[in-house]
Structure 1
Amino acid sequence: MDRFFGHSATTQGITVRVAVSFLPDRSRADNARWFWSYHIRIENHSDQAVQLLTRHWVITDGRGGVHQVDGEGVVGEQPVIQPGKAHDYVSGCPLNTPTGRMEGVYRMLRDDGQMIAVEIPRFPLVAPAVAD
């Protein structure tokens, strides 16, 4: 696995890889706002094309508060991923705590008409400690 992507999960031949980065320039600890970007790579190792139709995210902050996000596609697209190909995108997540985590599910339609739920691996959101 590419070392850049620290988290991965595979469901029915579809591998979802995640790399996460804390963005200090978009974060304000004095306003209880921390921000991360995450880079997702979806690889199709199956023998059929798949179309990513919807996403479901479960975002948990450092106090255990849970926020769920549902929507169509990813960053305005519902990509079709051919066998042996991949789709990459980058998005972001703000939290009101310096730690948390994200995980979720993509709903994808295979060429044979079967709808599958593809796991998005859990990944931590951790702001680096700030020295006093």
Structure 2
Amino acid sequence: MVEQITKGIKISVKTKYNGIKYLNHRLFYAFSYFITIENKSSETVQLTTRFWEIIDSLNDTEIVEGEGVVGQTPILQPNDNYTYSSGCYLESSIGAMKGYYIMKDCNTLEEFKVFIPTFQLTNPVLSN
């Protein structure tokens, strides 16, 4: 698990290798990632936007950005946490992801970046 805290917002990430998938007659390596967002600050915040860099060792870096995460824009009171999972397909068995969320302080409406630490996506067979 990797973790990072930005302005009192803690991001924790776990990953899972899901095997090989064939899509449109092409081979892909499937990965899941599980994100926990903990509000360790004294302010109520809302996640409004996500930005990801998906790095595939055999492909160009893919940029993904948009509103919220998995169709939601969660509001976190102090000491709340929010967990979700998602996934990606890589052309190689080795990659990484990193990025940030745009969070909004619900009292001041100030927006700020919360960094998602770089995490590895690796076929566990390669680790042995």
TM over 0.5: yes
Given candidates 100, 107, 110, the residue that maps to 2:105 is 110
**Alignment partner of 1:23: what SS?**
strand
User: Which structure 1 residue ranges, 5 or more long, are not aligned?
Assistant: 1-5
What is the CA deviation profile of residues 61-93 of structure 1, one whole-angstrom value per residue up to 9, with x for unaligned ones? 013621000010000000001100100001001
What letter is aligned with 1:48?
E
| Equivalent position of 1:27 in the other structure | 21
Equivalence map 1:87-102=2 (5 Å): 87-102=82-97
Q: What is the aligned length? A: 123
Equivalence map 1:62-81=2 (5 Å): 62-63=57-58, 65-81=60-76
User: Which structure 2 residue ranges, 5 or more long, are not aligned?
Assistant: none
TM-score, normalisation: structure 1 = 0.88
**Are 1:43 and 2:41 matched, yes or no?**
no
**Are 1:11 and 2:6 matched, yes or no?**
yes
Q: Which runs of 4+ in 1 moved over 2 A?
A: none
CA distance in 2, matches of 1:128, 1:65: 22
| Equivalent position of 1:3 in the other structure | none
Identity between Structure 1 and Structure 2 (%): 37
Greater strand percent: which structure?
Answer: 2
